[in-house]
Amino acid sequence: MASEEEKNKALVRRFLEAHAKGDLGAMEEMLAPDFVDHNLIPGQRPGREGYLHSTAEYHAAYSHTRYVIEKQLAEGDEVVTTFAARATHDQGEWMGLVPTGKEFEALLVLIHRIVGDKIAEEWSQGSGLAELTQQRLEQERIERERIEQELRVARSIQQASLPKDVPTLESWQITPYYQPAREVGGDFYDFHVLSEGRLGVVVGDATGKGVPAALVMSTTCGMLQLAARALDSPSPGEVLAQVNETLVARIPSNMFVTCFYAILNPKRGHLVYANAGHDLPYLQHGGEAEELRARGMPLGLMPASSYEENEIVIDAGESVLFYSDGLVEAHDPEGQMFSFPRLRALVAKHTWEGALGEYLLEKLYSFVGEGWEQEDDITLITLRCSSSLS
């Protein structure tokens, strides 16, 4: 049976499908009678009827509207959805803008609160329809040469933000792997050398591409380093909470950062961890792959977020795999994803005759086949206890 959070995510997906089609009847069925839109566009009346009327006006001006959901996160009664929107302004004037006949594309973030199987509230993180049009106009203004220059700058920022050295710990093997895509994304990883021999391990992903993503990931890396050193705390959740408060006020409102932060005591094999909406790492032991679960919203998305902490003990011969979604979201020629279940099964059955990262990449290349064009950055960090601890 699907969890309440999965049901909420499915409701939002159906709502966005209806929104893209302009199916006002279906939308009305899914909206609560006292629905509240927290980001009204100019001229929009509050409430459900105002929301539906605004949607009708939009579809009277735009055709071929398509939404492609890239990521969904659910916690409690809230659902966060990141999706790419495409539409063509070719049917009529909208908000003072005359039709151009051209298609635009924008990356959007919506937050919905679900009450009684109805959508009760919606927040658009700086991504209202007026901003969509502005982004479309900006995209028309940007030339290909400038885009290429931005990508070169972004790559240099991203590379400079990654650690130059891997910490050396007795009885431990730490193996990072980073493979950027052709278009720069927001992946990052880092290591924090803390007091009493402890080591912080960070892996994260900033939404978006190019220079904005590179700047956000670089900023986040620096903030995490500063917070970890200033607090010198054994609590990764405390570090994430402090960085979140700073990022909320500093990064663009349509961006956020997923991040998994763990602190290792190498003498005891004790790992305490917290998660800001990132893909769940796996603990490989006894022929199984156990998810390292902890609840928490992405960084920079909402103020006053708290981050659950959990802990494990890593014994000799066991490993933890940290990774980004570039691996699991790779597609084969038929459009099938590499997927979380496939990754988990591979981690569970892997033998330690060879490096886990190399093994997973071999399986990936076999899956995607020749001619594969990498869609997103791929980041892997393997933390392995290689011998018994004293």
Please state at what angle helix 356-368 crosses helix 340-349, rounded to 10 degrees. 140
**Domain assignments of the chain as residue spans, ordered by start:** 4-141, 163-385
Distances (CA, A) of 57 to 188, 307, 329: 41, 41, 35
**Mean pLDDT (whole number) for 334-362:** 86
Q: How confident is the model at residue 144 (pLDDT cuts 50, 70, 90)?
A: low
Cα–Cα distance for residue pair 28/33, rounded to 1 Å = 9
- Hunting for tokens 């679960």 — which residue is that? 293
The continuous run of DSSP H or E covering 366 comes out as: helix 356-368
Q: What is the pLDDT of residue 389?
A: 67
Q: For the segment 193-209, what is each residue's pLDDT rounded down to a tens digit?
A: 999 999 999 999 988 77
pLDDT value at residue 143: 62
**Average pLDDT rounded to a whole number, residues 174-196:** 85
Task: Please give the average per-residue pLDDT across 155-177, as a whole number.
Answer: 84
Measured CA to CA, the distance from residue 74 to residue 277 in angstroms comes to: 9
Count Cβ neighbours within 10 Å for each residue of 55-87 and write b for 16 or more, e otherwise: bebbbebbbeeebeebbbbbeeebbbbbbebbb
Alpha-carbon distance of 119 to 33, in angstroms, equals 9
pLDDT of residue 160: 73
174 Cβ contact list (under 8 Å, min separation 6): 166, 167, 191, 201, 381, 382, 383, 384
Report residue 137's pLDDT band, with 50, 70 and 90 as the boundaries.
Answer: low
Q: In the beta sheet, which residues pair with residue 385? A: 172
Residue 139 has pLDDT above 50, yes or no: yes
Per-residue confidence (pLDDT) for residue 376, from 0 to 100:
82
| Per-residue confidence (pLDDT) for residue 234, from 0 to 100 | 85
Tell me the C-alpha distance between 39 and 129, whole Å: 10
Compute the distance between CA of residue 327 and CA of residue 343 in angstroms, rounded to an integer: 9
The residue among 348 and 373 whose pLDDT is bigger is 348
| Per-residue pLDDT at 127 | 45
Residue 302 scores a pLDDT above 70: yes
Tell me what the mean pLDDT of segment 360-388 comes to: 87
Architecture of domain 163-385: 4-Layer Sandwich (3.60)
Q: Give which of 231, 240, 230 is closest to 262, Cα–Cα.
A: 240
Closest CA to 150 of 164, 163, 138: 138
* Top-ranked range on mean pLDDT: pick from 50-54, 185-189, 249-253, 258-262: 258-262
**pLDDT digits over 30-74, tens only?**
999 999 998 887 778 889 999 999 999 989 989 999 998 888 988
**Euclidean distance between CA atoms 180 and 157, whole angstroms:** 13
Of residues 390 and 286, more confidence is placed in: 286
CA–CA dist 385, 146 (Å, integer): 47
| pTM for the full predicted model | 0.64
For the chain, the 3-state helix, strand and coil shares in percent, each to the nearest 5, are 35, 30, 35
For domain 4-141, give its CATH number from 3.10.450.50, 3.40.190.10, 2.30.110.10, 3.30.1370.30.
3.10.450.50
Q: Tell me: the pLDDT tens digits for 97-126?
A: 778 888 878 888 899 999 999 999 998 864
29-42 pLDDT tens trace: 999 999 999 888 77
The residue among 335, 311, 338, 147 whose CA lies nearest residue 234 is 311
